[in-house]
C-alpha cells in the first residue's frame, strides 16, 4: 500500500508542472516601451483562455483592458514552441518605473502561464522604418535623434538583414550605442538568437568603430 501511495504522489508531482507549462507565452509585441507611457501589447502563445490579470514581479507596470482570447492559425517554431492564441491588453508604465527587465505571468481562470518579460527604457522609442529594405544603405539611412531606443526589425532572410541609422553629433561629443536581440525580441524563448554586429561610420562612410562577438 505504501508503494502504491508513493507512486501516486510521484506521478502527481511530475505531472503538475507539465500541465502548468501548457499555458505558455511565446511572443510579446512590442516588448519594450518608455517609462511614463501607455502601450498596447499583444501576447501570443498556447492555452491562454479566460485571462484574468497580468502579474508583474515588481511595481511600476499596471495591466488593464485585458481582451478576450482570439484563436490563431497554429504556428510552430524550431525550438518546439508554438502559437495558437492571442490576447491584447494595455500596459500603463509609471513615470518612476525602474528601467530594465520586468517579468510577468498571465493568470487565467485556472492557472498561471509560463514566465514572460517586458522591458522598460528611460528613452523615447522609435520604430525602424517599416518599408521593406527602407534603411539598408547609407543613402537611405533612417535619421534618429540622440538618446532614443530604436525598436528594429530583422526580415529573417537567409542572407541576413542590414539596417543603417543616421545620427547627428557635434565634434567632441560622446556617442554610445548598444544592440540587443534575444532580450528585446518579440519571441521570448527561441527563434531570436541572431548573430549581431555593429559598425559606426563617419559622414564619408569610413568605419571609425565596430563591435562583433560581444555578449
Domain that holds residue 66: 2-121
**Average pLDDT of every residue of the chain:** 83
Could you give phi then psi for residue 65, rounded to 5 degrees?
55, 50
- Cα separation values, 192 from 153, 187, 215, Å: 11, 6, 14
Q: What is the pLDDT of residue 9?
A: 41
Q: Work out the average pLDDT over 12-36.
A: 73
Query: Is residue 138 one of the residues assigned to a domain?
Result: no
User: Any idea which of 13-22, 56-65, 114-123 has the lowest mean pLDDT?
Assistant: 13-22
Query: Is residue 81 one of the residues assigned to a domain?
Result: yes
Q: Are 147 and 60 in contact (CB under 8 A)?
A: no
pLDDT > 70: percent of the chain: 80
Query: Is residue 170 one of the residues assigned to a domain?
Result: no
Query: Is residue 102 one of the residues assigned to a domain?
Result: yes
Query: Is residue 132 one of the residues assigned to a domain?
Result: no
Query: Is residue 30 one of the residues assigned to a domain?
Result: yes
Query: Is residue 91 one of the residues assigned to a domain?
Result: yes
| Cα–Cα distance measured from residue 53 to residue 63, given in angstroms and rounded to the nearest whole number | 7
The total of structural domains in the chain comes to 1
| Cα–Cα distance measured from residue 13 to residue 70, given in angstroms and rounded to the nearest whole number | 32
Q: What is the pLDDT of residue 15?
A: 44
Which CATH number does the domain housing residue 17 bear?
A: 2.60.40.10
- pLDDT tier at 184 (50, 70, 90 boundaries)? confident
Q: Are 81 and 26 in contact (CB under 8 A)?
A: yes
Q: Which of 64-68, 91-95, 149-153, 159-163 has the highest mean pLDDT?
A: 91-95
Query: Is residue 65 one of the residues assigned to a domain?
Result: yes
- Say yes or no to pLDDT of 23 above 60: yes
Amino acid at each position: 500500500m505504501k508503494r502504491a501511495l508513493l507512486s501516486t504522489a510521484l506521478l502527481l508531482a511530475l505531472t503538475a508542472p507539465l500541465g502548468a507549462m501548457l499555458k505558455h507565452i511565446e511572443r510579446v509585441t512590442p516588448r519594450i516601451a518608455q517609462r511614463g507611457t501607455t502601450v498596447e501589447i499583444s501576447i501570443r502563445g498556447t492555452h491562454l483562455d479566460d485571462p484574468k490579470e497580468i502579474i508583474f514581479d515588481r511595481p511600476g507596470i499596471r495591466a488593464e483592458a485585458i481582451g478576450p482570447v482570439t484563436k490563431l492559425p497554429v504556428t510552430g517554431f524550431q525550438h518546439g514552441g508554438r502559437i495558437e492564441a492571442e490576447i491584447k491588453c494595455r500596459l500603463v508604465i509609471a513615470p518612476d518605473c525602474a528601467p530594465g527587465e520586468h517579468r510577468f505571468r498571465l493568470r487565467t481562470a485556472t492557472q498561471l502561464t509560463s514566465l514572460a518579460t517586458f522591458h522598460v527604457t528611460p528613452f523615447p522609442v522609435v520604430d525602424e522604418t517599416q518599408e521593406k529594405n527602407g534603411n539598408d544603405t547609407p543613402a537611405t539611412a533612417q535619421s534618429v535623434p540622440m538618446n532614443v531606443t530604436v525598436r528594429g526589425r530583422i526580415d529573417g532572410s537567409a542572407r541576413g538583414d542590414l539596417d543603417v541609422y543616421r545620427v547627428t553629433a557635434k565634434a567632441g561629443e560622446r556617442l554610445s550605442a548598444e544592440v540587443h536581440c534575444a532580450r528585446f525580441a518579440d519571441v521570448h524563448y527561441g527563434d531570436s538568437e541572431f548573430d549581431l554586429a555593429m559598425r559606426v561610420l563617419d559622414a564619408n562612410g569610413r568605419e571609425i568603430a565596430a563591435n562583433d562577438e560581444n555578449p
